[in-house]
C-alpha cells in the first residue's frame, strides 16, 4: 500500500490549499510570482487529477480511492472520501479548468491580485472536496464553503453592478441549502435507532433502502395501502416528500432550473471571466450532481411522484432558456441563458431514468463545462479589449480577429451540438433516453425543439458580433489572440473534437455509475424491473476502528517479552 | 469481348483487401481541410490548390477502387459481405463494408463507425469526388483574386468529407454526422464573404432552416429506435424466418451494430408485412413501451413523414425550400457543388437508402410524391420571373429535386437515383457555366444585362447549351431519359388505395416539364443570344481559363453519355430487358421490392416506356421551349416601349417576389417567436420572476425588518408600557373565558 493508494484524493483536494498557503506568504506586490505559483499549483493538481481519473477502474467497486478516518464520531460523522464514475469525471473537469482559469485571468484581473488567486485556490479545494465527499455533512460543508470564494470573486472583481449580483447569488443559493441542512439533520434522526445513525452516505442510503422498497410496493398498490406502514417507512411516507422538496430546492437553485434561475444571468454577467468559467463549468453541475447522488436515490418514491413536475420544469427550462437568448442584447447574458437551456437537458436526462438518458445527462454535464466554459473564456478576451458586453457594439470582428473568430465558431458548433463535436453525443443520448423513458412522447418532442432554437440564437449572436462590415471605429484595430490566449483556448478545442469523436473512454467510466443511478432511482417506479441488490446497496469501506487506525504505532507485544 | 468483361469484373484491389481502407476516402479530404485551414496562410496559393485538389483526386481514385470492388466477380464469385443481422447463408452481394468499432454506446444503444459501399453509395461516391474534383479545379481559377482562398478550399474539402460520410455511413446516426456536417460546411461557404451582412444572414438562414428538418430527423430516428425494440420484443420465429434471420442472430446484430443500422432496419421491414403469418404485422399494436397502443404501420407512417420533413430541409422541398435560393450568396462553385450536385440530393439518397421502410407506408409515399410535385411546380413558376441567372438555376434545382421526390414517393427509386446522377452532371455544368459568365462579365448576374455571349465565350456557350438541352429533356441527352424514367414510373406505379396520386402527379409532371423548358430556354436565350445589352458592366466578355472550361466540357460530355444508364440493355429476370441503372441498383433495392410485393402497399411497374410516352414528353418540352423562344425572340422585343397591362405587371411582380412565401414565414413564424421571446423576457423573466418574486421577497423581508426596528426603541418606559398592556390584555381575555 503506497501513500497514493489511500491518499490520492486528499492530495487532489488539498493541493490547491497548500499552494494557497504558499501564495499567502508572498508579498502582495509580487504579481508575477503569485500568478506563477497559482498556475503551477493548478497544473500539479491537474496531473494528480488525471492520475486519479486513470486509476479509476470502470469494472471495479462503485466507490474507489476511498479514504475514511473517524471524525466527530459523537455526531455520527466520519471523514470519508471516495469517487464513483460521475464524481471522478466531474473531478477531471474541475482540475482541467483550474490552470486555464488562471491563464485566462492573467491580464483580466488587475487589482487585489493576491487575494484573487487565493480565492481561486480555495474555491478549487472546496469544489473538489464536495465532489469527493462520501459523508453527507462533509458534502454540505464543502457545498456551502464554495459560496464564499465565489461570492468574493463576483463581489470584488466583478463588473459595474457586482455587489447586487454577489448578494443575490449568495442569498439565493443559501436559502435553498439551509433548507437542505434541515432535511439532512432530519434524515439523520429518522434513519435509525440511536447508535446506528450516521451521516455517512452508504449507511444512510442502506438504512433507507428497505423502507423505500416497502413504500414503493404500497404506493403502487391500492389506495390507502400505505396507511398500514410502520416504522421508518411510515415516517418516509409522511415526511419523505418534504425532505425531498428541501433537497430538490437546494439543488434546483444551483442547477438552475426554471423558475429559480434568475440569479444566474446576474451572477454570470457581473462575474469576472474566471468566475463565469468556474460557475458555468463546475458549480452548476453541483446541482445536477446533488440530484444524482442525494435527492433522487435517497427519496426514490417522492422523486417518482415529483418526476412529471420536475420534467416539465426541465423542458420549460430548455425551451424558455433558448427563447430568452433570442431576446438578449448582452452577450454574457445570452451565454448565461444558454446555460439554463443546456442544464435543462441534463435534468431531463436524469429524470428520464433510463441508462441512455442518465449517461447523456452526465456527458452533457462535462460538455457544458467545456463548451460554455470556453465561450465565457473567449468572450472574456473580447471584453478585455473593448469593455462592452452589448452585441451592437461589435460587428465585423472576423475581419480583424480571424483566429479568435475561428475558435469562437468551433466552440459555437460544439454548443449547438453539431455531430462530431462533444455536444452532440450528450444531447442525442439525453433525447433518446427521454423518448425511451416512461415520460410521454411530448417531453422528448418539446425538448428536441431546443435543437432548432439553439442554432437560431447562437448563430444570431455569431452573426451580430463577427460578420458584416465593421460598424464601430473602435473595433478597427482590435488585435487578434496572442500566444497565451491561444494556448488557453487550444485545450478546449482539442477536447471538443476528442470528446465528440472518441467519447467511449469517458462513457466507460460513467457507465457503472449510470446503471446504479437508474437502478436506485427505479426503486420508486411502480412496476419497474427491480434491480439486483448489489446494484442498489451502497458498498463503502467501513470506518476503521480507533484501535486499528492506531495499530501501526503500537508494538505487537511488550518489548520486554520479545526474544 | 470476354476479356474486357473479365477485366471490368476483376477489381484491381481485391475487395477484402480494400475494405479496411474505406475510411481513407473520408480521411483524405478531412486531412486536406485541416492542412488548408490551419497552415493555408503560410503555404501560399499554389500549395493550397495542390493540397486541396490532390486530396479530392486521391479520394476519387479510392472511390473508383471501391466502386470497382463492389462489382468484383473474380473467378465467378460475386463480391459479398456477411449480413450481421441475417443467417450465415444470408450475405449481402455487391457490397463491401468495414466496421471501425464503437463510436459511442450507452445502455443497450450503440453506434459504430461502420462504412458501407454498395452500388448506390458507390455511384454517389463517384459523383461526389468526380464532380467535386472538377469543381475544385474550376475554383482554382475562379477564386484566383480572393484573399480567403485557403479558407475556401478548407471549407470545400470539409464539405466533401462530410458528404462522403453521409453516403458511406451504414447507420442513421453516422449518416446524421454527414447530414449536419454538410449543413455546417454549407453555412460556412454561403457566408464565405462574411463582410457582406446579407450573405452571412443567408448562411444562417440555411443552417436554421436545415435544423428544423434535423429536428424532425432526430425524432424520426428515436421513433425508429423505439420501433426496433418493440419489434424485437413482439416478433416470433416466423417473423424472423420471413426476413431470413432468427431471433438470436437479430439480437446479436443489435448488440454488435446497434439498432439504427440500415441492414437491421431492412430486416425489420422485411418481417413487418403480413406475408407468411407471424406475430407482427403492420396492423399489430405495439404492446409495451412509450409507443404502446399505436400500430407498427402507423408508427412507420409517422416516422417516414418526419424523415420527409428532415429531407425537405436538406433537399429544399416545401415547406423548407426557402433557404436554397438565398444560398446563392455563396461563391458559384459552391452553388454548383453543394446546392446543385451533392448536398441537396441527400434527401433523395436517404429515401433510397431506407426504401424498404418507406414502401411500408403508402400514405407517406403519396405525401412525398405530392410534396415533390407541388414544390417542383412552385419553384418552376417562381423561376419564370427571376432575372438573376443563379437564382433561376437555384429554383430549377428545387424543381428538379421535386421531380426526384416524385420518383421516390411513387417507388421508382432507381429512376430517382438516376436523375440524381444526371442532374448532378448537367446542373453542375450549368452553374459552372453561370460562374464562367459572371467571371467574364465583371460579376454581372442579371440576365437582362448580358446577352450575345455566344460569340465571346464559345466554350461556355456550347456547354451551357448542351446542359440546357439536357435539363429541358431534349431527346438524345441524359436528362430526357432520366426524367422520363421517373415520369413513366410515376404514371404506372400505383399506391395501395391511393391510385389517384399516380395520375395527379404525372399530370403535374408534364406541366413541370413545359415550365422547365420555358424558363431554361429563357435564361439561355437572354444570356447567350441576341445582342449585347447596353447595360452590360464590361464592353467585351472574355472566355475563362482552361481550369474553368475543362470542367465544363467534361461535365457537358458526362451529361450526354450518362444516357447509357437509362437504356434497356440488361436482361430482366422475368424475361425482356430492363434499363442498365435499374439492373445496377437492383441489389440495393431488392429488399424494397420484396417488401412492396408482400405488403401490397405499392404495385411496382416494370414495363419500359413506349414510344408514345417519349413522344408526349418530348412534345411537351418542345412546346415549352418554343413558347419561350417566341416570347423572348419575337414578342417581347416587339413590345418594347408599349405600356404593359396592369394584370401582367401584377403577375410578374408576384412571381418575382417568390409568391411572398418568405414574407409569409416571417409573418407567421419568425416574428411571433421573436415576439414571444421578447414578451417572456420582459414580462415573465424580468418582471414576474425576478422583480416580483425574487426582489419582492427581499423587499418584503427588508420592510418587515424596518418595521420591527421601530419597536426596538431602547426606551424602557415604552417597553414597560407594552408589557403592561399585554398583561392587561391577557387578564381581560382570561376573565372573559372564565365568565363565559
As a three-state string, the secondary structure of A265-296 is: HHHHHHCCHHHHHHHHHHHHHHHHHHHHHHHH
Q: DSSP state, B105?
A: E
Lowest mean pLDDT among A45-54, A87-96, B249-258, B566-575: B566-575
pLDDT at residue B584, as a whole number: 86
Q: At residue A532, does pLDDT exceed 80?
A: no
Q: Which of B104, B191, B215 sits opposite A452 (nearest CB)?
A: B215
Q: DSSP state, B608?
A: P
Q: Between the ranges B368-382, B602-616, B666-680, where is the mean pLDDT highest?
A: B368-382
- Beta carbons of B366 and B502 less than 8 angstroms apart: no
Residue with cell 504558499: A22
Pairing between β-strand A64-70 and β-strand B494-495 as defined by DSSP bridges: unpaired
Query: CB B211 to CB A451 under 8 A?
Result: yes
Query: CB B176 to CB A419 under 8 A?
Result: yes
B83/A18 Cα distance (integer angstroms): 60
Cβ contacts from A onto B, under 8 A: 145
**Nearest Cα to Cα of residue A335 among A325, A345, A320:** A325
Which residues on neighbouring strands pair with residue B93, listed in sequence order?
A: B80
Q: Which of B200, B207, B682 sits opposite A468 (nearest CB)?
A: B200
pLDDT > 90 in chain B, percent:
26
pLDDT at residue A549, as a whole number: 46
**Nearest Cα to Cα of residue B135 among B45, B35, B52:** B52
First CA to last CA distance, chain A: 29
A166/A181 Cα distance (integer angstroms): 22
Q: DSSP state, B386?
A: -
Asked if the C-beta of B696 comes within 8 angstroms of chain A's C-beta atoms, the answer is no
pLDDT at residue A548, as a whole number: 46
A170/B112 Cα distance (integer angstroms): 46
Query: CB A444 to CB B204 under 8 A?
Result: no
pLDDT at residue A552, as a whole number: 46
Q: At residue A536, does pLDDT exceed 90?
A: no
Residue with cell 408534364: B510
Q: How confident is residue A551, by pLDDT bands cut at 50, 70 and 90?
A: very low
Q: Which of A431, A469, A507 sits opposite B197 (nearest CB)?
A: A469
B231/B244 Cα distance (integer angstroms): 15
Interface test with A, best of B34, B107, B671 (most A CBs within 10 A): B107
A528/A519 Cα distance (integer angstroms): 9
Helices (H), A133-161: 136-145, 147-157
pLDDT at residue B637, as a whole number: 75
Which residues on neighbouring strands pair with residue B98, listed in sequence order?
A: B115
Tens digits of per-residue pLDDT, A381-405? 999 888 888 888 888 888 889 899 9
Q: DSSP state, B692?
A: I
φ, ψ of residue B118 to 5 degrees: the values are -125, -165
pLDDT at residue B663, as a whole number: 83
Distance of residue B395 Cα from the nearest chain A Cα, in angstroms? 25
Partners of residue B223 in chain A, C-beta under 8 Å = 435
ipTM: 0.90
Q: At residue A89, does pLDDT exceed 60?
A: yes
B432/B548 Cα distance (integer angstroms): 8
Asked if the C-beta of B698 comes within 8 angstroms of chain A's C-beta atoms, the answer is yes
Q: How confident is residue B623, by pLDDT bands cut at 50, 70 and 90?
A: confident
pLDDT at residue B275, as a whole number: 62
B348/B300 Cα distance (integer angstroms): 18
Instruction: Determine the residue of chain B that is closest to A418 in CA distance.
Output: B180
For the residues of B201-254, what is the DSSP string, one character each? HHHHHHHHHHHHHHHHHHHHHHHHHHHHHHHHHH--HHHHHHTT--HHHHHHHH
Query: CB B208 to CB A320 under 8 A?
Result: no
pLDDT at residue B93, as a whole number: 85
Query: CB A419 to CB B181 under 8 A?
Result: yes
Asked if the C-beta of A489 comes within 8 angstroms of chain B's C-beta atoms, the answer is no
Tens digits of per-residue pLDDT, B248-267? 888 888 888 888 999 889 88
- Return residues 77-136 of B near A (CB < 8 Å): 102-109
B671/A374 Cα distance (integer angstroms): 31
Q: Can you say how many angstroms the Cα of residue B84 is from the centroid of all Cα atoms in its chain?
A: 28
Residue A230, helix vs strand vs coil: coil
**Nearest Cα to Cα of residue A135 among A210, A91, A198:** A198
Partners of residue B204 in chain A, C-beta under 8 Å = 459-460, 463
- Beta carbons of B100 and B116 less than 8 angstroms apart: no
Query: CB A425 to CB B214 under 8 A?
Result: no
Interface test with A, best of B23, B39, B41, B106 (most A CBs within 10 A): B106
Query: CB A507 to CB B104 under 8 A?
Result: yes
Interface test with A, best of B39, B104, B701 (most A CBs within 10 A): B104
Q: At residue A371, does pLDDT exceed 90?
A: yes
**Nearest Cα to Cα of residue B312 among B298, B326, B296, B324:** B324
Partners of residue A259 in chain B, C-beta under 8 Å = 689, 693
Q: Which of B207, B219, B680 sits opposite A459 (nearest CB)?
A: B207
- Return residues 76-115 of A near B (CB < 8 Å): none
C-alpha cell at A378: 473567449
Asked if the C-beta of B195 comes within 8 angstroms of chain A's C-beta atoms, the answer is yes
Query: CB A459 to CB B204 under 8 A?
Result: yes
Question: Per 3-state DSSP, what percentage of chain A is helix, strand, and coil (rounded to 5)?
Answer: 75, 5, 20
Please compute the mean of the pLDDT values over residues A28-55 and round it to a whole number: 91
Query: CB A413 to CB B184 under 8 A?
Result: yes
Asked if the C-beta of B222 comes within 8 angstroms of chain A's C-beta atoms, the answer is yes
- Please report, for residues A154, A241, A529, B65, B191, the alpha-carbon distance to residue A519 in angstroms, rounded to integers and kept in the order given: 40, 20, 9, 50, 49
Partners of residue B23 in chain A, C-beta under 8 Å = none
Asked if the C-beta of B31 comes within 8 angstroms of chain A's C-beta atoms, the answer is no
Distance of residue B625 Cα from the nearest chain A Cα, in angstroms? 42
Query: CB A360 to CB B106 under 8 A?
Result: yes
B454/B461 Cα distance (integer angstroms): 5
φ, ψ of residue A169 to 5 degrees: the values are -60, -45
Tens digits of per-residue pLDDT, B41-98? 888 888 999 999 999 999 999 999 999 888 888 777 888 888 888 887 888 888 888 9
Q: At residue A529, does pLDDT exceed 70?
A: no
Query: Can you give the pTM of this predicted structure?
Result: 0.91
Handedness of CA A277, A281, A283, A284 (dihedral sign): positive
Please compute the mean of the pLDDT values over residues A49-75 and round it to a whole number: 87
How many residues are there in chain B?
740
C-alpha cell at A560: 520486554
CB-based burial label for B509 (10 Å; 0-12, 13-18, 19+): buried
pLDDT at residue B698, as a whole number: 85
Partners of residue B173 in chain A, C-beta under 8 Å = 419, 428
Q: How confident is residue A528, by pLDDT bands cut at 50, 70 and 90?
A: low
Residue B433, helix vs strand vs coil: helix
φ, ψ of residue B103 to 5 degrees: the values are -90, -65
Query: CB A449 to CB B215 under 8 A?
Result: yes
Residue B143, helix vs strand vs coil: coil
φ, ψ of residue A70 to 5 degrees: the values are -65, 145
Tens digits of per-residue pLDDT, B308-349? 999 999 998 988 888 888 888 888 888 888 888 888 899 999
Distance of residue A502 Cα from the nearest chain B Cα, in angstroms? 6
- Return residues 490-509 of B near A (CB < 8 Å): none
Helices (H), A437-503: 441-466, 483-501
CB-based burial label for A367 (10 Å; 0-12, 13-18, 19+): buried
A111/A342 Cα distance (integer angstroms): 33
φ, ψ of residue B186 to 5 degrees: the values are -65, -40
C-alpha cell at B237: 420465429
Amino acid at each position: 500500500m503506497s501513500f497514493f493508494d489511500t491518499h490520492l484524493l486528499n492530495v487532489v483536494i488539498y493541493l490547491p490549499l497548500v499552494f494557497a498557503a504558499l501564495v499567502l506568504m508572498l508579498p502582495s506586490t509580487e504579481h508575477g510570482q503569485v500568478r506563477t505559483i497559482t498556475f503551477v499549483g493548478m497544473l500539479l493538481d491537474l496531473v494528480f487529477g488525471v492520475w486519479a481519473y486513470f486509476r479509476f477502474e470502470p469494472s471495479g467497486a462503485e466507490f474507489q480511492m476511498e479514504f475514511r478516518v473517524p471524525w466527530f464520531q459523537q455526531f455520527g460523522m466520519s471523514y470519508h472520501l471516495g469517487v464513483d464514475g460521475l464524481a471522478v469525471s466531474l473531478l477531471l473537469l474541475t482540475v482541467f479548468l483550474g490552470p486555464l482559469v488562471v491563464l485566462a485571468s492573467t491580464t483580466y484581473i488587475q487589482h487585489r491580485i493576491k487575494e484573487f488567486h487565493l480565492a481561486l485556490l480555495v474555491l478549487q479545494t472546496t469544489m473538489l472536496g464536495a465532489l469527493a465527499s462520501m459523508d453527507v455533512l462533509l458534502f454540505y460543508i464543502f457545498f456551502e464553503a464554495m459560496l464564499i470564494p465565489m461570492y468574493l470573486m463576483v463581489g470584488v472583481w466583478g463588473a459595474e453592478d457586482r455587489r447586487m449580483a454577489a448578494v443575490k447569488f449568495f442569498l439565493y443559493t443559501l436559502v435553498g441549502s439551509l433548507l437542505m441542512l434541515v432535511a439532512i439533520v432530519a434524515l439523520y434522526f429518522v434513519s435509525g435507532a440511536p447508535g446506528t445513525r450516521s451521516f455517512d452516505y452508504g449507511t444512510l442510503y442502506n438504512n433507507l433502502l428497505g423502507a423505500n422498497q416497502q413504500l414503493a410496493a404500497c404506493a403502487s398498490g391500492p389506495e390507502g395501502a400505505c396507511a398500514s406502514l410502520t416504522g421508518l417507512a411510515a415516517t418516509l411516507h409522511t415526511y419523505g416528500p418534504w425532505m425531498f422538496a428541501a433537497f430538490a430546492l437546494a439543488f434546483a437553485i444551483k442547477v438552475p432550473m426554471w423558475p429559480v434561475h434568475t440569479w444566474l444571468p446576474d451572477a454570470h454577467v457581473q462575474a469576472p471571466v474566471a468566475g463565469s468559467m468556474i460557475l458555468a463549468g463546475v458549480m452548476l453541475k453541483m446541482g445536477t450532481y446533488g440530484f444524482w447522488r442525494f435527492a433522487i436515490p435517497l427519496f426514490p418514491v417522492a422523486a417518482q411522484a415529483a418526476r412529471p413536475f420536475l420534467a416539465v420544469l426541465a423542458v420549460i427550462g430548455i425551451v424558455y432558456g433558448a427563447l430568452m437568448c433570442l431576446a438578449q442584447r448582452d452577450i454574457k447574458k445570452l451565454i448565461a441563458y444558454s446555460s439554463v437551456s443546456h442544464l435543462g437537458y441534463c435534468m431531463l436526462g436524469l429524470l428520464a431514468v433510463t441508462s441512455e438518458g442518465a449517461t447523456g445527462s452526465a456527458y452533457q454535464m462535462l460538455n457544458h463545462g467545456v463548451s460554455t466554459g470556453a465561450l465565457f473564456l473567449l468572450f472574456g478576451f473580447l471584453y478585455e479589449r473593448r469593455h462592452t458586453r452589448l452585441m451592437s457594439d461589435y460587428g465585423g470582428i472576423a475581419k480583424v480577429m480571424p483566429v479568435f473568430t475561428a475558435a469562437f465558431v468551433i466552440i459555437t458548433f460544439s454548443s449547438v451540438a453539431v455531430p462530431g463535436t462533444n455536444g452532440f453525443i450528450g444531447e442525442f443520448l439525453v433525447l433518446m433516453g427521454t423518448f425511451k423513458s416512461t415520460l410521454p412522447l411530448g417531453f422528448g418532442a418539446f425538448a428536441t425543439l431546443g435543437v432548432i432554437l439553439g442554432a437560431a440564437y447562437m448563430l444570431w449572436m455569431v452573426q451580430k458580433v463577427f460578420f458584416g462590415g465593421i460598424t464601430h471605429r473602435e473595433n478597427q484595430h482590435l488585435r487578434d489572440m496572442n500566444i497565451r490566449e491561444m494556448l488557453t483556448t487550444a485545450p478546449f478545442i482539442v477536447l471538443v473534437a476528442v470528446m465528440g469523436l472518441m467519447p467511449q473512454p469517458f462513457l466507460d467510466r460513467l457507465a457503472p455509475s449510470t446503471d446504479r443511478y437508474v437502478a436506485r432511482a427505479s426503486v420508486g417506479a411502480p412496476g419497474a424491473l427491480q434491480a439486483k441488490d448489489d446494484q442498489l446497496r451502497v458498498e463503502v469501506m467501513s470506518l476503521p476502528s480507533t484501535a486499528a487506525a492506531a495499530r501501526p504505532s503500537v508494538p505487537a507485544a511488550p518489548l520486554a517479552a520479545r526474544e | 469481348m470476354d476479356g474486357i468483361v473479365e477485366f471490368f469484373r476483376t477489381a484491381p484491389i481485391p475487395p477484402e483487401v480494400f475494405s479496411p481502407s474505406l475510411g481513407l476516402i473520408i480521411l483524405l479530404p478531412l486531412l486536406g481541410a485541416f492542412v488548408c485551414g490551419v497552415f493555408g496562410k503560410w503555404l501560399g496559393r499554389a500549395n493550397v490548390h495542390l493540397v486541396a485538389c490532390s486530396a479530392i483526386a486521391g479520394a476519387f481514385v479510392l472511390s473508383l477502387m471501391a466502386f470497382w470492388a463492389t462489382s468484383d466477380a473474380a473467378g465467378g464469385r460475386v463480391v459479398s459481405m456477411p449480413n450481421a443481422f441475417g443467417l450465415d447463408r444470408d450475405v449481402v452481394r455487391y457490397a463491401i463494408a468495414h466496421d471501425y468499432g464503437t463510436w459511442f454506446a450507452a445502455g443497450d444503444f450503440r453506434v459504430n463507425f461502420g462504412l458501407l459501399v454498395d452500388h448506390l453509395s458507390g455511384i454517389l461516391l463517384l459523383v461526389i469526388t468526380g464532380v467535386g474534383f472538377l469543381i475544385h479545379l474550376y475554383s482554382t481559377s475562379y477564386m484566383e483574386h480572393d484573399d480567403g482562398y485557403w479558407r475556401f478550399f478548407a471549407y470545400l474539402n470539409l464539405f466533401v468529407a462530410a458528404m462522403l460520410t453521409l453516403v458511406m455511413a451504414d447507420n442513421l446516426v453516422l449518416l446524421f454526422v454527414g447530414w449536419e456536417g454538410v449543413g455546417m460546411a454549407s453555412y460556412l461557404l454561403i457566408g464565405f464573404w462574411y463582410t457582406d451582412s446579407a450573405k452571412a444572414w443567408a448562411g444562417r438562414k440555411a443552417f436554421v432552416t436545415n435544423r428544423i428538418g434535423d429536428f424532425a430527423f432526430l425524432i424520426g430516428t428515436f421513433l425508429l429506435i423505439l420501433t426496433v425494440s418493440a419489434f424485437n420484443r413482439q416478433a416470433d420465429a416466423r417473423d424472423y424466418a420471413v426476413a431470413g434471420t432468427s431471433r438470436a442472430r437479430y439480437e446479436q446484430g443489435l448488440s454488435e451494430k446497434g439498432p439504427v443500422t440500415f441492414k437491421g432496419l431492412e430486416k425489420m421491414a422485411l418481417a413487418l408485412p403480413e406475408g407468411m403469418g407471424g406475430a407482427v404485422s403492420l396492423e399489430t399494436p405495439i404492446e409495451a413501451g412509450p409507443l404502446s397502443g399505436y400500430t407498427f404501420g402507423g408508427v412507420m407512417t409517422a416516422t417516414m413523414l418526419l424523415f420527409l420533413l428532415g429531407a425537405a430541409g436538406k433537399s429544399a422541398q416545401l415547406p423548407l425550400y426557402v433557404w436554397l435560393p438565398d444560398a446563392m450568396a455563396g461563391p458559384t462553385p459552391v452553388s454548383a457543388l453543394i446546392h446543385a450536385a451533392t448536398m441537396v440530393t441527400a434527401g433523395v439518397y436517404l429515401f433510397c437508402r431506407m426504401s424498404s421502410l418507406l414502401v411500408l407506408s403508402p400514405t407517406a409515399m403519396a405525401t412525398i410524391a405530392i410534396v415533390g410535385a407541388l414544390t417542383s411546380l412552385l419553384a418552376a413558376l417562381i423561376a419564370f420571373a427571376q432575372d438573376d441567372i443563379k437564382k433561376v438555376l437555384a429554383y430549377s434545382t428545387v424543381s428538379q429535386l421535386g421531380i426526384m421526390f416524385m420518383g421516390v414517393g411513387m417507388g421508382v427509386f432507381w429512376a430517382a437515383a438516376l436523375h440524381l446522377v444526371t442532374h448532378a452532371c448537367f446542373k453542375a455544368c450549368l452553374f459552372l457555366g453561370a460562374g464562367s459568365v459572371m467571371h467574364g462579365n465583371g460579376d454581372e448576374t442579371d440576365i437582362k444585362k448580358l446577352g450575345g455571349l455566344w460569340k465571346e465565350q464559345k466554350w461556355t456557350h456550347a456547354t451551357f447549351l448542351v446542359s440546357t438541352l439536357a435539363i429541358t429533356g431534349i431527346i438524345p441527352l441524359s436528362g430526357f431519359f432520366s426524367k422520363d424514367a421517373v415520369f413513366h414510373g410515376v404514371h404506372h406505379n400505383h399506391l395501395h388505395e391511393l391510385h389517384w396520386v399516380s395520375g395527379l402527379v404525372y399530370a403535374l409532371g408534364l406541366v413541370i416539364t413545359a415550365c422547365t423548358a420555358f424558363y431554361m430556354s429563357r435564361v439561355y436565350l437572354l444570356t447567350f443570344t441576341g445582342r449585347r445589352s447596353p447595360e452590360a458592366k464590361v464592353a467585351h466578355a472574355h472566355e475563362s481559363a482552361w481550369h474553368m472550361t475543362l470542367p465544363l466540357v467534361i461535365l457537358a460530355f458526362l451529361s450526354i453519355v450518362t444516357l447509357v444508364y437509362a437504356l434497356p440493355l440488361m436482361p430482366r429476370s422475368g424475361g425482356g430487358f430492363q434499363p442498365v441503372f435499374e439492373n445496377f441498383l437492383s441489389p440495393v433495392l431488392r429488399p424494397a421490392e420484396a417488401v412492396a410485393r408482400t405488403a401490397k402497399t405499392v404495385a411496382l411497374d416494370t414495363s419500359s416506356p413506349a414510344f408514345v410516352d417519349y413522344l408526349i414528353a418530348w412534345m411537351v418540352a418542345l412546346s415549352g421551349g418554343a413558347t419561350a423562344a417566341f416570347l423572348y425572340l419575337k414578342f417581347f422585343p416587339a413590345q418594347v416601349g408599349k405600356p404593359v397591362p396592369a394584370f401582367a405587371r401584377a403577375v410578374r411582380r408576384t412571381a418575382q417576389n417568390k409568391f411572398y412565401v418568405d414574407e409569409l414565414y416571417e409573418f407567421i413564424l419568425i416574428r411571433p417567436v421573436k415576439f414571444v421571446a421578447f414578451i417572456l423576457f420582459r414580462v415573465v423573466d424580468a418582471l414576474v420572476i425576478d422583480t416580483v418574486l425574487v426582489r419582492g421577497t427581499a423587499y418584503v423581508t427588508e420592510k418587515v425588518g424596518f418595521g420591527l426596528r421601530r419597536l426596538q426603541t431602547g426606551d424602557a418606559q415604552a417597553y414597560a408600557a407594552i408589557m403592561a398592556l399585554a398583561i392587561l390584555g391577557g387578564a381581560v381575555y382570561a376573565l372573559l373565558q372564565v365568565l363565559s
